[in-house]
A and B are shown apart, each in its own frame.
Chain A
Amino acid sequence: MLNRRHLLTAGLATGTATILPKMAWAAADTDRRFIFVLQRGAADGLGILAPTGDPSFAPLRGELAATTGTKLDSLFTLHPAMTETANLFAQKQAAFAHAIASGYRERSHFDGQNVLECGAARPYGRDDGWMNRLLSLLPGSERRALALATAVPLALRGTAEVGSYAPSRLPDADTGLMERVAMLYAEDAQLAPLWSSAIQTEAMAATTENAGRGGAAAGKLIASLMNGAEGARMIMVESNGWDTHVNQMGRLNGLLKGVDDMIAAIRTDLGPAWSKTVVLVATEFGRTALVNGTKGTDHGTASAAMLYGGGLAKGGTIMADWPGLATGQLYEGRDLKPTMRFERLVIDTLSAHYGIEPGKLQRTVFPDFV
Chain B
Amino acid sequence: MLERMPPVSSEIAIAANRFGLGLRPDNPPSGKTANWLSAQIDRYDPRPAAMAALPTRATLIQSLQELQELQRVKRAEAASADDETAMAEKVLKNYRKSLRDHYAEAVDARLQVAIASQTDFAERLVHFWANHFAVSTDKVQIIALAGNYEFDAIRPYVFGKFGDLLKSAVKHPTMLLYLDQAQSIGPDSALAKRVNARRDVDLGLNENLAREILELHTLGVRTVYAQEDVTEFARALTGHTITGLARGQIRRFIDGNTPAGEMVFVDAIHQPGARRVIGNSYTQSGAAQADAILSNLATHPATAKHIAMKLATHFVADTPPPALVAKLEKDFLKTGGDLKSLYRVLLSAPEAWAAGQAKFKSPWEWTVSALRALNLKQLGANKQGPAAVFVQMGQPIWKPGSPAGFGDQAKDWAGPAALMRRVETAGRLAKLTAGRIDARMLAPAILPGTLDPRTAEHIARAESPEQGLALLLVAPEFLRR
Complex contacts, B423 vs chain A, CB 8 Å: 173, 177-178, 181
Minimum CB distance partner of A110 in chain B: B404
Minimum CB distance partner of A197 in chain B: B416
Instruction: Knowing A111-B222, A180-B471, A184-B458, say if A147 contacts B415 (CB, 8 Å).
Output: yes
How far does the Cβ of B362 sit from chain A's closest Cβ, in whole Å? 11
* Cβ-defined contact, A164 with B421, below 8 A: no
* Cβ-defined contact, B401 with A240, below 8 A: yes
Main secondary structure of the interface of A (DSSP, over half): loop
Instruction: Knowing A157-B411, A195-B416, A299-B211, say if A168 contacts B421 (CB, 8 Å).
Output: yes
Judge if B394 is at the interface, Cβ distance under 8 Å: yes
* Cβ-defined contact, B180 with A164, below 8 A: no
* Cβ-defined contact, A111 with B227, below 8 A: no
Complex contacts, A111 vs chain B, CB 8 Å: 221-222
Instruction: Knowing A174-B427, A246-B180, A298-B208, say if A151 contacts B420 (CB, 8 Å).
Output: no
Q: How many residues in B have their beta carbons less than 8 Å from beta carbons of A?
A: 59
How far does the Cβ of B39 sit from chain A's closest Cβ, in whole Å? 35
State which residues 185-211 of A face B: CB under 8 Å. Answer: 185, 187-188, 190-191, 194-195, 197-199, 201-202
Complex contacts, A180 vs chain B, CB 8 Å: 458, 462, 467, 471
* Cβ-defined contact, A187 with B221, below 8 A: no
- Residue among B183, B185, B410, B413 having the largest count of chain A Cβ atoms under 10 Å: B183
Complex contacts, B475 vs chain A, CB 8 Å: 184
Considering the chains assembled together, what is the distance between the CA atoms of A279 and B303 in angstroms? 41
Binds A, one of B2-10, B86-94, B197-205: B197-205
Minimum CB distance partner of A170 in chain B: B424
Considering the chains assembled together, what is the distance between the CA atoms of A241 and B137 in angstroms? 11
* Cβ-defined contact, A245 with B424, below 8 A: no
* Cβ-defined contact, B222 with A293, below 8 A: no
Considering the chains assembled together, what is the distance between the CA atoms of A246 and B411 in angstroms? 32
* Cβ-defined contact, A151 with B414, below 8 A: yes
Considering the chains assembled together, what is the distance between the CA atoms of A173 and B180 in angstroms? 43
Complex contacts, B147 vs chain A, CB 8 Å: none
Complex contacts, B286 vs chain A, CB 8 Å: none
Minimum CB distance partner of B479 in chain A: A191
Judge if B425 is at the interface, Cβ distance under 8 Å: yes
Complex contacts, B412 vs chain A, CB 8 Å: 151
Judge if A268 is at the interface, Cβ distance under 8 Å: no
* Cβ-defined contact, B222 with A123, below 8 A: yes
Classify chain A: how many residues form its interface, as a range.
Answer: 35 or more
Judge if A163 is at the interface, Cβ distance under 8 Å: yes
* Cβ-defined contact, B428 with A170, below 8 A: yes
Of B227, B413, B421, B454, the contact of A187 (CB 8 Å cutoff): B454
Judge if B215 is at the interface, Cβ distance under 8 Å: yes
Judge if B308 is at the interface, Cβ distance under 8 Å: no
Judge if A41 is at the interface, Cβ distance under 8 Å: yes
Judge if B166 is at the interface, Cβ distance under 8 Å: no
Of B415, B427, B470, the contact of A152 (CB 8 Å cutoff): B415
Main secondary structure of the interface of B (DSSP, over half): helix
Judge if A107 is at the interface, Cβ distance under 8 Å: yes
* Cβ-defined contact, B479 with A194, below 8 A: no
State which residues 1-30 of A face B: CB under 8 Å. Answer: none
Considering the chains assembled together, what is the distance between the CA atoms of A293 and B205 in angstroms? 5
Considering the chains assembled together, what is the distance between the CA atoms of A35 and B434 in angstroms? 45
Judge if B392 is at the interface, Cβ distance under 8 Å: yes
Considering the chains assembled together, what is the distance between the CA atoms of A165 and B401 in angstroms? 19
Considering the chains assembled together, what is the distance between the CA atoms of A183 and B187 in angstroms? 65
Judge if A292 is at the interface, Cβ distance under 8 Å: yes
* Cβ-defined contact, B458 with A246, below 8 A: no
Scoring A residues 289 to 315 as 1 if CB is less than 8 Å from chain B, else 0, what string do you get?
A: 001111010110000000000000000
Complex contacts, B218 vs chain A, CB 8 Å: none
How far does the Cβ of A169 sit from chain B's closest Cβ, in whole Å? 6
Minimum CB distance partner of A165 in chain B: B417
Considering the chains assembled together, what is the distance between the CA atoms of A174 and B430 in angstroms? 12
* Cβ-defined contact, B463 with A201, below 8 A: no
* Cβ-defined contact, A170 with B389, below 8 A: yes
A to B CB contacts below 8 Å, 27 in the list: A108-B211, A109-B402, A110-B404, A111-B221, A123-B221, A150-B413, A150-B418, A151-B412, A164-B416, A166-B421, A168-B392, A168-B424, A170-B424, A170-B428, A171-B428, A173-B427, A177-B471, A181-B474, A184-B474, A187-B454, A199-B420, A240-B138, A240-B402, A292-B207, A293-B206, A298-B206, A332-B227
User: Considering the complex of A and B, which 5 residue pairs feature the smallest CB-CB distances, nearest first?
Assistant: A293-B204, A150-B394, A151-B415, A198-B416, A150-B418
Given contacts A110-B215, A184-B474, 14 further A-B pairs with CB under 8 A are A111-B221, A123-B222, A151-B394, A151-B414, A163-B416, A169-B388, A170-B424, A173-B420, A176-B463, A185-B476, A187-B454, A191-B479, A194-B419, A293-B187
